Amino acid sequence: MSGQWGKKVKYSIFGESHGRGIGITIDGLPPGIKLDMDFINGEMQRRAPGRDEFSTKRKEGDKVEILSGYFNGYTTGAPLCGVIFNENQNSKDYDKLKNLARPGHADFTGKVKYSGFNDYRGGGHFSGRITAPLVFAGAVAKQILFDKGIVIGSHILSIGNVFDSYFDGVNLKIQTLADVLRKDFPVLDDLKGKEMKNIILKAKEETDSVGGIIEGSILNLPCGLGEPFFDSLESNLAQLLFSVPAVKGVEFGMGFEITKIRGSKANDVPFVYEEKVLTKTNNNGGINGGISNGMPVIFRVAMKPTPSIAKTQNTIDMATGENSEISVIGRHDPCIVLRALPVIEACAAMSILDFI
């Protein structure tokens, strides 16, 4: 299993959904960084389950207990280890499902790869619950970046076929990110947000689920970050984003839409100088040649519908090899997008911190 990531700052993640706890160790942080625990706890609560009717009823406080690398309010320079103890597991929900491969999950692939020794309860190490330690690491990274003027934010761009407004890739302001962050349902257009809520509740009522798109941004990133070829800004960030369960697509700037226009429109011209070099458009999402160009970095991730649904589906019994049916009982999100926003932002912060 590959539970480590990073070059200058190294992250090592551990735990299973229904195990004793989950957590992450961060190695490479300098001593003397003051950690705002209120901010960290606030980020954890953005992702925590059981907050509202749009998420799973599993209630977890997601309180981080720092075991090492932190003393008297500051990092010590030793590896910073944070753990979140699981408190509300219903492992019995999975007793009847342990031999049935849940569609859309890693039950079958995990059983094959790890010879059946993997913890199947709640998805084990493949569970979306393992993203909670990422949020802790991201909250630490965000604080360091914020002290350098770098701000990261996101919003729900779409749920199903309903779309919010897009970020202004040229003139996006920190205040816009702050305004969205204060909302319980983080969209730019609240009317569109209401439509999205209705789509989620309808799917929930029908024992189904829906997916969506998260649009993220990184503001005030200096020009020159990125190590082409194989560690470009895009490839580095995309690797972390694709490690998040349920992410099925990543794009930067106009993404796939840029294929529909000519080069004369796709190129971000003209270059202008207004205290620093800027462009009048930002079709490439603030990145040229895998290197930040000083414009806002704009990216989007596609989140698939939650695979755990109560609707009856066809599957196989992995013990007998026979065809079977499954209805996934338990507590599951009808839409994972809302709780995934701080996870996506955390990935961006972790990536940028490694470059910084």
The answer on whether 126 is annotated among ligand-binding residues is: yes
Q: Give the per-residue pLDDT at 217.
A: 98
Boundaries of domain holding 222: 4-355
Is-cis flag, bond preceding 85, omega within 30?
no
pLDDT band at 147 (very low <50, low <70, confident <90, very high): very high
The answer on whether 7 is annotated among ligand-binding residues is: no
Q: Does residue 187 contact residue 180 with C-beta atoms inside 8 Å? A: yes
The answer on whether 229 is annotated among ligand-binding residues is: no
Q: Give the chain's domain count.
A: 1
**Lowest-pLDDT range of 67-76, 256-265, 285-294, 322-331:** 322-331
Better-scored residue on pLDDT, 97 or 210: 210
> What are 52-64's pLDDT values in tens digits?
676 666 566 789 9
Strands (E), 80-131: 80-85
Tokens 């932190």: give the residue: 70
Angle at 70 between CA 69 and CA 76, to 5 degrees: 65
pLDDT above 70 for 90: no
Sequential DSSP letters for 181-248: HTSSS--S-HHHHHHHHHHHHHHHHTT----EEEEEEEESPPTT--BTTTB-HHHHHHHHHHTSTTEE
Tally of residues, the chain = 356
The answer on whether 51 is annotated among ligand-binding residues is: no
pLDDT above 90 for 91: no
Helix, strand, coil abundance in the chain, percent, nearest 5: 30, 25, 45
Q: Enter the pTM of the model.
A: 0.93
pLDDT above 60 for 214: yes
Buried/exposed 58-74: b ≥16 CB within 10 Å, e otherwise: bebebebebeebbeeee
Percent of the chain residues topping a pLDDT of 90: 75
> What are 92-113's pLDDT values in tens digits?
666 667 888 889 888 889 888 8
Q: How far apart are CA 77 and CA 65, in angstroms?
A: 18
The answer on whether 129 is annotated among ligand-binding residues is: no
The answer on whether 133 is annotated among ligand-binding residues is: no
The answer on whether 332 is annotated among ligand-binding residues is: no
pLDDT above 90 for 88: no
Q: How many whole angstroms from its chain centre is CA 279? A: 29
State the chain's mean pLDDT as an integer.
Answer: 92
**Lowest-pLDDT range of 34-38, 136-140, 274-278, 318-322:** 274-278
pLDDT above 60 for 207: yes
The answer on whether 105 is annotated among ligand-binding residues is: no
The answer on whether 296 is annotated among ligand-binding residues is: no
Average pLDDT over residues 227-245: 96
The answer on whether 47 is annotated among ligand-binding residues is: yes
The answer on whether 290 is annotated among ligand-binding residues is: no
Q: Does residue 28 contact residue 76 with C-beta atoms inside 8 Å? A: no
Average pLDDT over residues 283-309: 96
- CATH number for position 19: 3.60.150.10
